[in-house]
Chains A and B, each alone.
Chain A
Amino acid sequence: MAADFRRLIEDSREMTRRSFLAMAGWAGFTVASLIALYQSVKWLYPNATYEDPPAFKADPPSTYAVGSTTVIIDKRVVINHDPNGFYAISLICTHLGCTPRYFPDATSDLVLAGTQIAKDPDTGQQATKENPVLPGFKCPCHGSRYFRDAVNFFGPAPRPMDRVHLEVAPDGKLLIDRSVIVDRSFRLKV
């Protein structure tokens, strides 16, 4: 085997016109194949997707009462209106991308079963045995839970859900852009 291979290499040192052309042919074939492979992969990447655009308009800010949580399920977005302003949550579970559901009570079953729940870092609220009910989100896929402000407190979710940008559009409606992720301190004051 090794001897055969060595002889093959030694033979190929003697370049004839025929072997040169054969090598050039194979080189051309290889390059063409690589280009075809690249094109095949590239072909599968859509240049335009006709999906729902990331930015959309909701109702005017006055529609949302202070302290309200509004789920826009088709857009997978939540609009929270707190005393210090508006913010929007991208309703995509940070574990594996399902859509968590809003529940007025997302904590009491855990608290009453004895599970210790961390304090919500955003609001400072804590569910205790005396006062076990806090609103929040539960993911139907693997049971992750989030406080109302999107901070995760239970289940496999590794981090809070993303907050996305929102502003008041010229026509007075809330304009939410899901492609712009904002800091947790972001608030829209109206």
Chain B
Amino acid sequence: MSVIRAAIDEMFSIVGQMVGSVFRHGLPLTDKIAARTALTNFVLHIHPVRVRRSWIRMSYTLCLGGLSFFLFIVLTVTGLYLMFYYVPSTNHAYQDMRDLQFVVTFGGLIRNMHRWAAHAMVITVWLHMARVFLTGSYKKPREFNWGVGTLLLLITLLLSFTGYLLPWDQLSIWAVTVGSNMAKYAPIAGPYTRYLLLGGRAVGDSTLLRFYVLHVVGLPLAAFLLMVVHFWRVRKDGFSGGL
């Protein structure tokens, strides 16, 4: 009997060690343990240990930055789903988009989530910028983070622009024709930029591939890295809300 009890004790201690190596502070029943948990947990560490109620008053932030980030996550997840059925070639793209809409189980839901979240993210990012401007939160010492934020806004718009082409319908093709012709109007670099964007003289196969690569890898990666900096800077510079 004592052998079995020893084995059970051993098993409990192994499980205990495993759990303890992940959650190091037990249940956060007191403020002190809660603070330690927030400090040492990867997911929670972006939260300050102590937050004043006034800093995160909803009528002050309107949750716009958080909403933008939430929509970015929605877009990443739904975008990943869409990639399983979408081939970025002029022969397949439109049909794949139609299949996603009408053939794939829950395809319409996922595609529309991606579409509407994209529209919503452009709106929330703009409003977030407007809020930061109107509350004067871009002022010293937060000028650098304002700069990072403008880059994130630019990337959000570029993500929308590149995603616009992917359904490969008439609207996509001519919208990107118009957009890339606007780029052409820039002095000196204009025509080169257009050729670089399109990978040719007109919107075609190479344009679709370029926009796809930018849309699913290049721009999201850049956005992610800048977001890391953006959030870290918010923590370091402190909240701009009242005392």
Contacts and interface: CB of A to CB of B under 8 A. Distances in A.
B165 to A, nearest CB: 14
B177 A51 contact: no
A51 B201 contact: yes
B73 to A, nearest CB: 30
Chain A interface bracket (under 10, 10 to 19, 20 to 34, 35 or more): 10 to 19
B177 A45 contact: no
Contact of A98 (B178, B204, B205, B206): B178
Interface in B191-218: 195-196, 199-202, 204-206
Give the interface SS of chain A, mostly helix, strand, loop or mixed: loop
A92 to B, nearest CB: 9
Interface residues of B, number: 15
Contact of A49 (B174, B182, B199): B199
Contacts, number: 31
Given A45-B196, A49-B206, A96 B181 contact: yes
**Most A CB atoms within 10 A — which of B174, B180, B195, B206?**
B174
Contacts of B202: 51
Contacts of A44: 196, 199
Nearest to A98: B174
A44 B213 CA distance: 12
Interface string B167-186: 00000001001101110000
A124 interface: no
5 contacts: A41-B196, A45-B196, A46-B200, A96-B182, A97-B180
Closest 5 CB pairs of A and B: A49-B200, A97-B181, A96-B178, A96-B181, A97-B177
Given A45-B196, A98-B174, 16 more contacts: A41-B196, A44-B196, A45-B195, A46-B199, A46-B206, A49-B206, A51-B200, A51-B201, A51-B204, A96-B177, A96-B178, A97-B177, A97-B178, A98-B178, A141-B174, A141-B178
